[in-house]
Amino acid sequence: MTTANTAPKTVMQRLLDGVEKVGNMVPHPVIIFLILIGIVIVLSAVLGAFGAAVSYERINPDTHEIETASTAIRSLLNVEGIRFLYSSLIPNFMSFTAVGLMIAAMIGAGVAEESGLVTALIRKLVIVSPRWALTYILAFVGILASIAADAGYLVLIPLAGVAYLAVGRHPLAGLALGFAAVAGAFTVNMLIKPLDAVLVEFTNDAARLVDPERSIGLASNVWFSIASVIFLTIVIAFITDRMISPRLGEYKPEASADGGVTDQGATLSERESRGLRFALYGLIGLLVVFLLLTLPSGAPLRNPATGELIGNSPFMNGLIALIMLIFLVTGWTYGIGAGTLRTLSEVIGAIEKSIRNMGGTIFLFFVLSQFVAYFTYTNIGTVMALSLSGALQAANIGALPLLIGFIVVVAIIDLLLTGAIAKWAIFAPVFVPLLMKLGVEPEAVLAAYRVGDSPMNAITPLNAYFALVVGFAQKYDKSAGVGTIVSLMLPYVVLMFVLWTALFAVWKALGLPWGL
């Protein structure tokens, strides 16, 4: 990592430097996941031989009925396991949604970047925003990016790095800021998003085990979520400005992968200004089209059965298409206005260039998809989650300590099972009824789950985009590796988890409303 600090380093900075040094000694991420695949195969055979299993109640995702299930460790070295290893190679990769999302997002982002739109927008943001406010703006937008599901990983994180570079700050600090905002606060937003509909539905299924008439709505956590967004924006910005940026020091462009950076300039040229006007016209035209596809009654992008637009609807389920089209249309129209990207052939060339640059990432995702599929097949994560939740359930403690313990357990399990919906399908029928019997409203249990499920996303190797962030970092520092990202994200993960849990505890103690 490139720094220019001359002042003595603090104990924390020396500790993080040590974490980075050790972390960067590990092999290439592909080799790491190949080793992890070997460990999972051996561990599944050993645990399977001992008959490790657990019984529990869960919510059936299809029928939403509570059912009793039993999960045992499945070996990858018996007949069925070997068949799975052999036959699932391609299906594992094809079902790994991160690949499709990344390619779709890069189709639009490649055009926007090649035309110069991204650089012009960042420079415009830098010009109109006070320098002190840039960190807060990026953190706030990064948290809100979860409305577009995983697209925030592919769009906001690299943009944050470019924005920091544009104001003369270390771009790795911008990447860390973006990653913390997008991943570490993924379950909260100021808007209702598709994930909320699923989590609320599972919560209601579990609550009816105690009270058949009890239910909560989509906005049941809206006040806590809004407060969390504001609170975490401040926390993330504080960590970035007071801990990450001082540790990184001044950026030295000669250490970047391409040996230099583009001079951003202090003002926009006339061609760039004209390009931005054209991009605005393109954006308005695209939005008009989508308004016609969404607002009228019976519009094709509404839910055909209920007519709803927000929640389970074609519009929300396919939001990545809108993100792609926004960048594609605005990038091309900017290129026409600025004279950088005029013809369809040039647009196709820009897309091809962006896809070619993803070759290494796609191969990494191929290996990662196998690891995730094998780990899921063995049920190791599920058995561990249920064992920890059973121990917490058996503990004879009060409601608030139990809620905090629940947050801790969810955070630990999030290192192994990153899917928010899959974990809640297991935890909801256990903890919602248990805490309701102790006088805790189901809204509070769902809010606690949101807190526990988010911060660890920024550090778990099972996050499909962790390796992608390593690739983003290498654009600015060719020596950056896994240890670099881990050392950057540790302060965010620890402080966000502790302070957000404290906010939850205070909110609960004061009896504040969780939502509508």
Q: Hey, what are 451's tokens?
A: 């807190």
**pLDDT attached to residue 95:** 83
- Encode pLDDT of 419-472 as tens digits: 777 678 777 877 787 788 778 899 999 999 999 988 988 888 777 788 788 888
Domain limits, the chain: 26-253+262-510
Distance of CA 464 to the CA centre of its chain: 9
pLDDT of 260 > 50? The answer is no
d(CA 309, CA 147): 14
- Encode pLDDT of 341-381 as tens digits: 888 999 999 888 888 877 777 887 788 788 878 888 888 87
d(CA 66, CA 235): 39
Average pLDDT, the chain: 82
Q: Hey, what are 133's tokens?
A: 């406010």
| Contact call for residues 29 and 467 (beta carbons, < 8 A) | yes
- Encode pLDDT of 40-63 as tens digits: 899 999 998 988 887 776 667 667
d(CA 100, CA 96): 8
d(CA 250, CA 245): 8
Q: How confident is the model at residue 7 (pLDDT cuts 50, 70, 90)?
A: low
**pLDDT attached to residue 431:** 78
**pLDDT attached to residue 254:** 55
Using a pLDDT cut of 70, give the percent of the chain over it.
Answer: 84
**pLDDT attached to residue 98:** 67
Tell me the helix, strand and coil percentages in the chain, rounded to 5: 70, 5, 30
* Mean local confidence (pLDDT), 194-216: 79
Mean pLDDT check: name the lowest of 70-79, 343-352, 388-397, 464-473.
388-397
Q: Hey, what are 156's tokens?
A: 């906001």
d(CA 74, CA 151): 33
- Encode pLDDT of 311-347 as tens digits: 678 887 777 788 789 889 999 999 999 999 888 999 9
- CB atoms under 10 Å from CB of 49, counted, come to 12
- Encode pLDDT of 467-509 as tens digits: 788 888 888 888 888 788 888 999 999 999 999 999 999 999 9
**pLDDT attached to residue 178:** 92
Partnered with residue 66 across adjacent β-strands are 59
3-state secondary structure 334-393: HHHHHCCCCCHHHHHHHHHHHHHCCHHHHHHHHHHHHHHHHHHHHCHHHHHHHHHHHHHH
**pLDDT attached to residue 9:** 64
DSSP SS3 for 67 = strand
Pick from 447, 449, 468: which is nearest to 512 by CA? 447
| Contact call for residues 96 and 365 (beta carbons, < 8 A) | yes
d(CA 344, CA 185): 39
DSSP SS3 for 447 = helix
d(CA 368, CA 361): 10
d(CA 410, CA 404): 10
- Encode pLDDT of 82-127 as tens digits: 999 999 999 989 887 767 777 887 788 788 878 888 778 777 877 7
Question: Which class for 4: exposed (0-12), middle (13-18), buried (19 or more C-beta within 10 A)?
Answer: exposed
Pick from 289, 270, 280: which is nearest to 330 by CA? 280
Residue type, 110: G
**pLDDT attached to residue 293:** 92
Q: How confident is the model at residue 255 (pLDDT cuts 50, 70, 90)?
A: very low
d(CA 247, CA 15): 11
Q: Which residues touch 287 (CB under 8 Å, ≥6 apart)?
A: none
d(CA 224, CA 10): 35
d(CA 20, CA 477): 13
* Mean local confidence (pLDDT), 117-139: 81
d(CA 126, CA 134): 7
**pLDDT attached to residue 505:** 95
Of 515 and 263, the structure prediction assigns the larger pLDDT to 515
Of 199 and 14, the structure prediction assigns the larger pLDDT to 199
